[in-house]
Structure 1
Amino acid sequence: MASDSRNNKILLDLVQQPGNNLCADCAAPEPDWASYTLGVFVCLNCSGMHRNLFTVSKVKSIQLDYWEDSLVQFMKERGNSAARAIFEKCVPAFYYRPQHHDCIVLKEQWIRAKYERREFTGEKNDFLQNYTLDLFESTLWKKGRDNKQYLRRIFLLSQKDFTLRYFTKEDSKVAKAVISMKDLNAHFQPEKIGHAHGLQISYLEDERTRNLFVYHENGQVIVSFFNAIRATRLAYLLKKHPTLRHTDLIPQITTHCLMEGYMEKTGPTQREPFKKRWFTLCSVTRKLLYFKSPLDATDLGAVFIGSHEHGYSVSESSGRCTRSGRWRCGITLETPSRQFVFMCEQEQERRQWMEAFRKVILQPMTPEDYANEATLRRGK
């Protein structure tokens, strides 16, 4: 028992060291599990995924399980930093490294790619070479534009002309759509789409935001497609900004929305009835988009949100408007050209939206932001 206690104490000391104090796979703080075959400290969620790699990884709790002296010695010799030097030696700049808040399929495929398929050790180049090919093809299930039915579609990424095309049939000669990498974004939305592998692709079409919702039953296929999009996007950005470094461009490859959810919205005169709309706020584009429902193919409108120095502000409103609906937690968004009034269902939602709006307003404007603002104003 004394040996058990001593070994657990050694592990608790090890997990507090820099490098070990974050999960080796998702960077969650205070990992309390470890793979004693790989020598990495991981969080509870990632330990569950390691259990699925039973031929590669075996895990124990660093506090509750019995640890033999030899296993503790291996953990001392290895640790997260040394393991990362082995299993993440050749991770491409475009490849998405999941964080603890990301969806399961991203984290699971990252873990499998590192330890099971050993894609980044430098031993095998077959996996990574696929991302640098001129053409990358995937067959996915895509939601119809005007209905809820998902149909098989062939998607083709090109690093020659920086486009994403999709076809309705394998022998189709003409693409249903040709999408430029210029304004394309992709991020996983499993809850919204209703599938664990659901991916949302957004782009501009005639100055309106167009959404595609796709999935594949195989997690490796959909995550590979996502990273192929990122590879093509990075190639486009490098050509567009040849003087910028990879580190400057990586945050621009694909982005998460800052906030999403329902609010009620009134019209420009504020005498119109409030209507329930689905809103999406992106801090990178500084756009607040609104849709009739979460899975709409095209937005109903967009609001550019500039900085405080340029006349943009947000504040609470009373919510006592006679034409408002059931919701009473009001928000007023001031822009140089118009005042917008929104209603949230709950006070907590209002606080979250207010915080999100303020985060965007406090960001300094970039030259590209000024161009986007001018484009939106011309379209109105």
Structure 2
Amino acid sequence: MSGEQEKNQRLLQDLLKRAGNGTCADCGFADPDWASLTLGVFVCQSCSAFHKASPNISRVKSLLLEPWQASEVEFMASTGNDAAKAKYEQKVPPFYYRPTHTDSQVLREQWFHARYERNEFMYIEKQEPYSAGYREGFLWKRGRDNGQFLSRKFILSEREGILKYFNKHDAREPKASMRIETLNATFRPAKIGSPHGLQITYLKDNSTRNIFVYHEDGKEMVDWFNAIRAARFHYLQVAFPGAGDADLVPKLTRNFIKEGFMEKTGPKQTEGFKKRWFTMDDRRLMYFKDPLDAYARGEVFIGSKENSYAVQAGLPPSTQGHRWQHGITIITPDRKFLFACETEAEQKDWIAAFQRVINRPMLPQEYAGTHTHACSQHTWTCVLKHTPEFILTYTMHCKIVQN
């Protein structure tokens, strides 16, 4: 390496120490090792792929693997991540989802195009697809019974406070109407089998319902996602007139804490263990026979350690009927729940997820009485929970007591 190259490398490393340059301009990942010579930003290797795929927008260069010219270093010194943020993110709506390095590719890719190509956050009129309060279009929705994805018309109406879809294009009445106050949306591409796969959950008859949708166009799907967040944001602004954006934004949508297969047994702990798909969502541990089931087979409320909830590795010595050897015991005030994982790594991940929830103090709104009710398949003991984001809406968080 020549003396000039060594000098340029030192200057580049000094630039990375400047405020804002130490993390990726696009996703916030630490220690970026690429830079855009046209946009003047430092980015991580993962996000550099979006820049490489759009040479008309950005030309990137490795900080370590390629030689740098003095003029290129001078340009980076005159710009940087903070300057680019001030230019390209002038008017980002508070509800718009800013992806991190752990988010799905479609979110990160569309964030790149929204800022640098479409200039959506420089001109408010370009935000209409997700900020107008009304959106309609066709999405591919998975059928609850046949598992086929069929084209369905969806309408999101902030004025009506609902997201609805129609089984037939000319139908007058919707097949389902989902209240905005109970909506959640999260991208689950691997689970759904589409790079743009979105899982939408809502409450129906006091239980969680899942629907799975996608669109071939990534922008279309991300616009739907942010339209849902916008509708949720405006609903919460009305429900909580004194709350600031920092309080409301975390409640717009949420990713699941953890998902995956475990084995479970029934309340008497004498039945054989059955393989089920589990979803940990906030304080609700739901289980399904299949990952794409519309309804959960059962639901366990996970409280805090102050309320006598605990998690332990392993199973009671007398436990039988499990094929997987890495056990987990969840202790609640009423009973113990027994699970088994296929690998030790999965066991540790689930225990860590449970422990994070148990270590989190319960909110005042999460305390409520318990009672029992029956349905066609099970008897349930239920915790009635008033969540702050679902103002005046009560949801049932159930602990199954018969397998």
Letter of the 1:68 partner, please give it.
Q
After the TM superposition, which residues 261-276 of structure 1 pair with which residues of structure 2 at under 5 Å, given as runs?
Answer: 261-276=260-275
The answer on 1:90 being equivalent to 2:87 is: no
Q: Which moved more, 1:32-41 or 1:3-12?
A: 3-12
The answer on 1:70 being equivalent to 2:71 is: yes
Letter of the 2:225 partner, please give it.
F
Partner of 1:305: 302
The answer on 1:259 being equivalent to 2:281 is: no
Partner of 1:127: 126
Residue 265 of structure 1 contacts residue 276 of structure 1 at CA under 8 Å; is this kept in 2?
yes
Residue 164 of structure 2 contacts residue 176 of structure 2 at CA under 8 Å; is this kept in 1?
yes
- Deviation digits for residues 32-81 of structure 1 (CA, Å, limit 9, x no counterpart): 00001000000011111011221111000111222222221111011000
Contiguous gaps of at least 5 residues in structure 1: none
The answer on 1:99 being equivalent to 2:109 is: no
**Distance between the aligned counterparts of 2:7 and 2:250, measured in 1?**
44
Letter of the 2:160 partner, please give it.
D
**Distance between the aligned counterparts of 2:183 and 2:328, measured in 1?**
30
Could you tell me the TM-score, scaled by structure 2's length?
0.90
Partner of 1:166: 165
Residue 287 of structure 1 contacts residue 304 of structure 1 at CA under 8 Å; is this kept in 2?
yes
SS of equivalent residue, structure 2 residue 397: helix
Q: Which moved more, 1:225-234 or 1:321-330?
A: 321-330
Partner of 1:324: 321
Q: Which moved more, 1:75-84 or 1:162-171?
A: 162-171
Partner of 2:374: none
Letter of the 2:299 partner, please give it.
A
Q: Which moved more, 1:62-71 or 1:205-214?
A: 62-71
Residue 344 of structure 1 contacts residue 350 of structure 1 at CA under 8 Å; is this kept in 2?
yes
Letter of the 1:288 partner, please give it.
L
**Distance between the aligned counterparts of 2:366 and 2:342, measured in 1?**
31
SS of equivalent residue, structure 1 residue 9: helix
Count of residues in Structure 1 that have an aligned counterpart in Structure 2: 376
Partner of 1:376: 397
Letter of the 1:55 partner, please give it.
N
The answer on 1:140 being equivalent to 2:139 is: yes
Letter of the 2:397 partner, please give it.
L
Which of 336, 356, 362 in structure 1 is aligned with 2:359? 362
After the TM superposition, which residues 164-243 of structure 1 pair with which residues of structure 2 at under 5 Å, given as runs?
Answer: 164-243=163-242
Cα displacement (A) at 1:146: 1.0
Could you tell me the TM-score, scaled by structure 1's length?
0.95
Contiguous gaps of at least 5 residues in structure 2: 369-381, 385-395
Cα displacement (A) at 1:259: 1.0
Structure 1's 377 and 194: CA in aligned 2 closer, same or farther, altered over 3 A? closer
- Deviation digits for residues 80-120 of structure 1 (CA, Å, limit 9, x no counterpart): 00100000110000000000011111000000000000111
Structure 1 runs, 4 residues or longer, greater than 6 Å off: none
Letter of the 1:218 partner, please give it.
D
State percent identity of aligned pairs. Answer: 49
Cα displacement (A) at 1:11: 1.0
SS of equivalent residue, structure 2 residue 110: helix
- Deviation digits for residues 132-185 of structure 1 (CA, Å, limit 9, x no counterpart): 323111311010001221000111111102210111233221111100012211
**Distance between the aligned counterparts of 1:112 and 1:169, measured in 2?**
34
Residue 318 of structure 1 contacts residue 328 of structure 1 at CA under 8 Å; is this kept in 2?
no
Cα displacement (A) at 1:351: 1.1
**Distance between the aligned counterparts of 1:67 and 1:32, measured in 2?**
13
Structure 1's 379 and 292: CA in aligned 2 closer, same or farther, altered over 3 A? closer
- Deviation digits for residues 179-208 of structure 1 (CA, Å, limit 9, x no counterpart): 001221100001111111111001111122
After the TM superposition, which residues 30-45 of structure 1 pair with which residues of structure 2 at under 5 Å, given as runs?
Answer: 30-45=31-46
Structure 1's 165 and 272: CA in aligned 2 closer, same or farther, altered over 3 A? same
**Distance between the aligned counterparts of 2:206 and 2:315, measured in 1?**
34
Letter of the 2:275 partner, please give it.
K
Which of 282, 294, 312 in structure 2 is aligned with 1:315? 312
Letter of the 2:383 partner, please give it.
E
Residue 207 of structure 1 contacts residue 379 of structure 1 at CA under 8 Å; is this kept in 2?
no
**Distance between the aligned counterparts of 1:354 and 1:32, measured in 2?**
34
